[in-house]
Chains A and B, each alone.
Chain A
Amino acid sequence: MKNYIKKYLNQQTNVAPLAVFRIFFGLLMFASIVRFWANGWIEELYLAPKFHFSYYGFEWVKPIGDFTYVLFIVCGIATLFVAVGYKYRLAIITFFLSFTYIELMDKTTYLNHYYFISVLSFLMIFLPANVYFSIDSYVKKRSYQNVPKWTIDSIKLLLGIVYFYAGLAKLNSDWLFRAQPLKIWLPSKYDLPLIGNNFMQQEWFHFAMSWGGMLYDLTIPFLLLYKRTRIFAFVLVVFFHIFTRVLFPIGMFPYIMIVATLIFFDANFHQKIISFLQKFLSHLSFRLKWRNLNVSSSDFEARKIVLRTSNYNFSKSKKQLIFPIIVIFFTIQLLFPWRYLAYPGELFWTEQGYRFSWRVMLMEKAGYTTFKIVDGKTGKSFMVDNKDFLTSFQEKQMSFQPDFILEYAHYLGDHFTSQGHKNVEVYAESYVALNGRMSTKFINPKINLYQERESFKHKNWILPFSSEIKIKGI
């Protein structure tokens, strides 16, 4: 066993897939940042709200006023540096930190794929993605043909976890036997051309999509791994993600996944992409040369010489640092999604341990939560108009997620205390509807939430899931 591992860690493979991955990752991230900015979301999501919902332990991460734009600029520049492979390590660290900071600023905007980008960019810090076809290798005049095989495999593993865990999460009775929430979502896409008015309205189609989605998620990593099924798998990947893109507002995620799964293809394929890019670049540089006559051609040619070496190996000290990090990283990735088992109650209802677990598209959940500010001594009370404090998007997200409700209750408590109200107590009146069930009371209205503290412990002020239609499964 030990020998096997040792042998595996020393195995080398062609670097091309890693280099192509780096380029596409950088470019797609750049497009994401530009798109986010162009949609006006920096202003709308980070600057306009008075109040931001924080992740437990990261309350110090807040938007930084107009400097938030600078943060996005830094993040955007980092993506381009990653793409061209210039000062790669610094660039990917900068990207990881700035992107993660952005995501931590307000959990209202939490998306699984943002989390995916954060963990992927963290992993990429430790991968030699810049040793080939990059400015770094050009500047150092050294380029490598091969890298340790585990570096490319680690990306495949992460992708595999994302898909497989997303598939496991679909093994529940709502998804499989009630076709929920697709039964709600698909008919509402009645205005799609061709399929909107027929397939989307059919119950068998909702079930077919539910089961198909589950099977897709569970099997796609394996279908991509085996050469014989790879092309078929990739066709599925493209079809599946384009289809979800058409149906749902999931932004850049489908493109990211389509491009990321290219990593499963062999080196020849990636070599072709690189030679295509090389041709394109040399064409460009030729024209550049032709225009700028003062750049002597010999000078240009001289710089182009890059020493080709066969194998890239991590130094011993680097290995000692990197291996434990990678092992811990994947252990956490594998175990973290199971933390929900430590909590009592229905996961979809309480959402304790729901996030960061690749649970995607599983719930049509909506809530209505209002807050009563009570003077504990006199019993006098009044209701809060959420619109005074939250954007409509924040209010929507707050209304069905207990940790949001608690954080907001504290914000309200502090706010009204500072306004001179005495003996402030905060009570929530909350109703939530989940996957086509009638709404029921969500939060114990007799609990003063201002007294409750956020923690990793079970929140016993969430009323138990009382619907007769239970949810069974993983």
Chain B
Amino acid sequence: MLKKIGILFIISIVIIACNSTDEGETGIIDNFNRGAMLTHIADNIINPSYESFKNQMVALKLAGDTFATTPNQTNLETLRTFYVNAYIDWQNIEMFNIGKAEELNYSFFMNIYPLSSVDLESNISSGTYNLDNDNYHDEQGFPALDYLLYGVANSDTEILSKYTTDTNATNYKKYLLDVLNQMNSLTEQVVTGWSSFRSEFIASTSNTATSSLNKFLNDYIEYYERKLRANKFGIPAGVFSSTTLPEKVEAFYKKDISKELALESLNAFISLFQGKYKGNVTATGLSFEQYLEALDRKDLATAITSQLFAAKAEIQTLNNNFNQQIIDDNSKMTRAYDELQKAVVLLKVDMASALDIQIVFIDADGD
């Protein structure tokens, strides 16, 4: 009998060993092909989004170079146009916190707001700063450009003078170029890194805390909850504080694009959910929406899309300038927030639960 039990133990251990060594291996033949979904997302959504933004970033940097060489009204206007275009396009890639972007903390260097304008000014006047340092996250990226192109003085003439006649003009120009170079070089690294990371990304479909699929889904949901819902709406609308904080809106100095940025961000989020690129079907492929449907949760997939569109409709009624909206009538802003919030529940509770995403590695017995 001891022998039999011994054999049983050996078999069991073999089963366990097989299980742990084969982890991460794929070869899906069940009714939903996660590898195909990730491939579609990688090739038809992430890749074109990255390429598009990279081009925007290059154009922005060139316009910055031109402006720094010849700071005049025309070049300022051009630079501003490229800034707005790039900032809008950025909304399509901020949620991809994967590979090189995750490793470099890309989005922290690109879009942490509100900007610390006091620190930024002291960087310029002293000329000593290190944009690679984590302490300088809120003194660079798009919010810094926003300030340097719109907020550094009250009128265009005065803004231009900062780069021409001001005693610190050289430092202003240098800071502007440093910010642009930093953004451009990080973007290049991320986009280059992506092409080598792609194959790893689409292959990692297992259900473990470290698989691409799970991390991507987690980041995706977290992006919605934090960067979109909280940062763009909740925080400035005073949801998390006892008073409203209208100065914490995105693109505070440009002012009239905060709604456009938010809508672009939400569109990008919805597009990814539906397997589209910037709202368009560019190639057929599987999406999170179809993933839920494959799991017999069409009810949930429908609930999520209709809630996201409800939020979008609510946002469309707002002033182009969120700062102004909050000051004039914050209740409209909080109503938009509430609609966005309802989708958080569907994403974080219902969708995460339906997909049974492994998030933390801790023993559980299902209660």
Contacts and interface: CB of A to CB of B under 8 A. Distances in A.
B364 A111 contact: yes
22 contacts: A111-B363, A112-B365, A188-B355, A190-B28, A190-B34, A191-B26, A191-B205, A193-B25, A197-B29, A197-B30, A201-B30, A235-B8, A238-B8, A359-B367, A362-B367, A366-B348, A366-B349, A367-B349, A381-B242, A393-B360, A436-B354, A438-B299
Contacts of A192: 19
A184 B356 contact: yes
A433 interface: yes
Given A366-B350, A383-B239, 20 more contacts: A185-B356, A188-B355, A189-B207, A190-B34, A190-B207, A192-B19, A201-B30, A201-B31, A269-B1, A272-B2, A276-B2, A362-B367, A382-B238, A382-B240, A382-B241, A384-B240, A385-B240, A432-B349, A433-B349, A439-B349
Contacts of A238: 8-9, 12
Contacts of A272: 2
Given A191-B26, A197-B29, A368 B365 contact: no
Contact of B352 (A45, A248, A366): A366
B234 interface: yes
B366 A193 contact: no
Contacts of B360: 392-393, 396
B28 A433 contact: no
Contacts of A265: 1
Interface stretch (A135-143, A249-257, A284-292, A446-454): A249-257
The residue in B30, B354, B366 that gathers the most chain A C-beta atoms within 10 A of its C-beta is: B366
Given A188-B207, A438-B350, A113 B365 contact: yes
Contacts of B30: 187, 190, 196-198, 200-201
A41 B24 contact: no
Given A188-B207, A363-B366, A234 B345 contact: no
B355 to A, nearest CB: 7
Interface in A148-184: 181, 184
Contact of A187 (B295, B299, B358): B295
B230 to A, nearest CB: 8
A233 to B, nearest CB: 12
B18 interface: yes
B353 interface: yes
A360 interface: yes
A253 B28 CA distance: 30
Q: Which 4 A-B pairs have the closest CB atoms?
A: A188-B356, A251-B363, A191-B206, A361-B366
Q: Interface size for chain A: under 10, 10 to 19, 20 to 34, or 35 or more residues?
A: 35 or more
B349 A360 contact: no
B59 to A, nearest CB: 37
A381 B18 CA distance: 54
Interface in A355-409: 355, 359-368, 375, 380-385, 392-393, 396, 399
A278 B357 CA distance: 48
A439 B346 contact: yes
Contact of A242 (B15, B24, B344, B357): B15
A392 B359 contact: yes
A246 interface: yes
Contacts of B208: 191
Contact of A361 (B25, B34, B345, B365): B365
A197 B28 contact: yes
Contacts of A368: 344-345, 348-349
A273 interface: yes
Contacts of B346: 439
Contacts of A383: 234, 239-240
A196 B26 CA distance: 10
A284 B365 CA distance: 40
Nearest to B345: A431
A56 B131 CA distance: 50
A382 B239 contact: yes
Contact of A360 (B299, B303, B366): B366
